[in-house]
Amino acid sequence: MERPSAQQIKAYYDEWAEREWHRFDRRPADRVNLEIHRRFLARLVQTGDRVLEVGAGPGRFTIQLAKLGALVTVTDISPRQLELNAEKVAEAGQEHAVQSRQQTDVADLSAFETGSFDVTTAYGGPLSYLFERAGTGLDELLRVTRTGGAVAFSVMSRWGTLHRFLEAVVQLTRTGLGTESETIVKTGDLTGEAARVEGMSLPHECHMFTWEEIEQLITGRPCQLIDASASNFLSVRNDEFLNELSPDEWAEFIDWEEASCRSKGCLGGGTDILVALRKSG
């Protein structure tokens, strides 16, 4: 099956535009997802770190990196996302932390020298759009990171996504798209009609990983796993209940969510999988 080209991914996110910013605040589970990603970064990034942010989008995590004291090189495949990044980061008063912005594909970071960064991030699933070429993307992330530095990325998760959208996947079979639903469950590939998004002219085609696939991706590469987490393990499908929590209950719940998501048995059970690697020599 033909995979989406870099040009198609670029066009999708140009059209998706500011909806990417709101992806982390539409419902309570989205805000939980954002906080888990933030805490993951906070365990990894130190003041003064030179960070390459791949697939930065409109700046949710650029702002977080700036608040952590990082010096950030912002990249994205979408020119529109880079424009929004500049707007949102400036609005947050964090533009001082941005060293530059460049349009870049995660599979080709040749614009950057080997070992240039202390930390390289690829949040939001850039590797998920590469399908079988995810290893190429990870090799590039590792290459531009210094020995002893860290690479952090997140990808879409097969089982957690199926948990969240179970009814929609079953409905595909009911409407004559049984092959697509079977493909999602058996391979994690979201393609074709099953990937159509309301209001968008292009499908959101991507690969959703299992934890076992992450382990296979890491094996044999010059790195060691130093941190891992799911996101939305407890919170998925619980938006109505989460809306009723008091501020104190919300704070306590976030701690529960983080603990469960970092448990080995839950790593593949959230909507995303977060991974941090230490680059070895």
Residue 56: name the closest of 22, 107, 21 by CA.
21
Residue 67 is predicted with a pLDDT of: 98
Residues of 17-47 as b/e, b for ≥16 C-beta within 10 angstroms?
eeebbebbeeebbbbbbbbbbbbbbeebbee
Angle, CA 166 vertex, CA 156 and CA 239 arms, to 5°: 80
Alpha-carbon gap, residue 176 to 191, rounded angstroms: 15
Q: What is the mean pLDDT of residues 116-137?
A: 97
pLDDT digits (tens, 9 = 90+) for 16-57: 999 999 999 999 999 999 999 999 999 999 999 999 999 999
pLDDT digits (tens, 9 = 90+) for 82-100: 999 999 999 999 999 999 9
Residue 52 is predicted with a pLDDT of: 98
Contact 161, 195 (CB under 8 A): no
The domain limits of the chain are 6-158+208-279
Could you tell me the two tokens for 168? 């929609």
Q: Is 192 left (phi over 0), alpha (psi -120 to 50) or beta?
A: left
Residue 68, pLDDT above cutoff 80: yes
Q: Which residues pair with 152 in a beta bridge?
A: 121, 276
Residue 234 is predicted with a pLDDT of: 97
Residue 1, pLDDT above cutoff 70: no
Residue 2 is predicted with a pLDDT of: 65
pLDDT digits (tens, 9 = 90+) for 229-274: 999 999 999 999 999 999 999 999 999 999 999 999 999 999 999 9
Average pLDDT, the chain: 96
Residue 218 is predicted with a pLDDT of: 98
6-158+208-279 topology per CATH: Rossmann fold (3.40.50)
Residue 3 is predicted with a pLDDT of: 85
pLDDT digits (tens, 9 = 90+) for 168-200: 999 999 998 889 899 999 999 999 889 999 999
Residue 178 is predicted with a pLDDT of: 85
Residue 49: name the closest of 69, 74, 63 by CA.
69
